[in-house]
Amino acid sequence: MIFINNPSYVFLSLASFSLAFLSIYHLRAKSHTIKEKTLLIYSHLIFLFFPFALFTLTMACRAISISCEATRILSYSMPTSIALSLLAGFIGIPVLYFMSSRTSGVNDSGMLGFVKKHSDKISIRTPKLYVIDTAKPQAFSFLSFMPSIFMSVGILDILNRKEIESVILHELAHIKHGSTVLKISSYVMRLSPFSMLKTLSSELDAEERNADLFVFKTQKTWKYIQSAKRKLDEYETENNSIKQTLD
């Protein structure tokens, strides 16, 4: 009751909720860049949970019967979850991959030269190239504190030179556009109960298409990126089918 009777707290809370919904509303607009969308995601979360934090810190212990410790834990849990998610996504997971014993740097001068040449063309810091000791074909990139591209030995085994180059170009495009940031942010967004109002799957799909388009513009053909993707799908299908048949 005390909280509701304080006009400034009420005004701040209502304003904060309004801005949270405004952020979600603007997120639906297709014209925003990745940076703008990311900003809107975190703005939404901050504005959404600000009133609860304000209530808990100023009034909760006196206004409701839950113990102060419990309400304090509840109010700190949301910003802590967001902070931990960001830490995990931008630092924790990349560090795990860097430190893994299955990860090693690539020394292939041809591949390194290719990465440097095209990084310079699109004016990004040359990412480090790593190979992961696993047969499962996969490739991904991180932007965090050091741009890096990871490829498994499995993907190098099944793709030819041009297809490998198309995958590298695809990842360079993701680094250039900051797609990783959007992807991690889309997971953090799920902390909001209103995340169903705006899922980011269409934006993430668009990022994939933009990365493929970059490959097409560079290699002047869709052939290699399409055949690379086809082989990755084939591997997945074969692997699942063989597991079901033989196990």
Partner 1 sequence: MVNVRKIQKIRFEKKDLESFLSPLESDVLKTLWVNADDSSKPKEMKVKEIYNLLKGKRKVALTSIAVILDRLYEKKIVSRKMKTGRGGIHYVYYPCATRENLEESIVKNVVNKLIDNFGNVAVSYFNERFSAGNKDKNQKLI
Q: Is the dihedral of CA 132, 136, 141, 142 positive or negative?
A: negative
Residues 151-170 within binding reach of partner 1 (CB under 8 A): 153-154, 156-158, 161, 164
- Identify the CA nearest to 158 among candidates 238, 247, 62, 243: 238
Total of chain residues touching partner 1, rule CB under 8 A = 26
- Collapsing DSSP to helix, strand or coil, 129 comes out as strand
Among the listed residues 110, 190, 202, 221, the single contact to partner 1 using CB under 8 A: 110
Q: Tokens for 224, please give them.
A: 């290699």
Closest CA to 35 of 214, 179, 247, 244: 179
- Position among 8, 31, 107, 244 found at the interface with partner 1 (CB under 8 A): 107
Compute the distance between CA of residue 147 and CA of residue 182 in angstroms, rounded to an integer. Answer: 15
Cβ atoms 115, 172 nearer than 8 A? yes
> Which one among 44, 137, 150, 183 touches partner 1, defined by CB under 8 A?
137
Of 57 and 135, CB closest to partner 1: 135
Q: What does the per-residue mask of binding to partner 1 show for 187-226, with x meaning CB under 8 A?
A: ----------------------------------------
Please tell me whether residue 135 binds partner 1 under the rule CB under 8 A. Answer: yes
For residue 239, state whether it binds partner 1 (rule: CB under 8 A): yes
Q: Report if residue 111 touches partner 1, rule: CB under 8 A.
A: yes
What are the Cα distances from residue 168, in Å, to 64, 97, 119, 229? Answer: 56, 18, 10, 13
Site residues (vs partner 1, CB under 8 A): 104, 106-108, 110-111, 131, 133, 135-137, 153-154, 156-158, 161, 164, 231, 234-235, 238-239, 242, 245-246
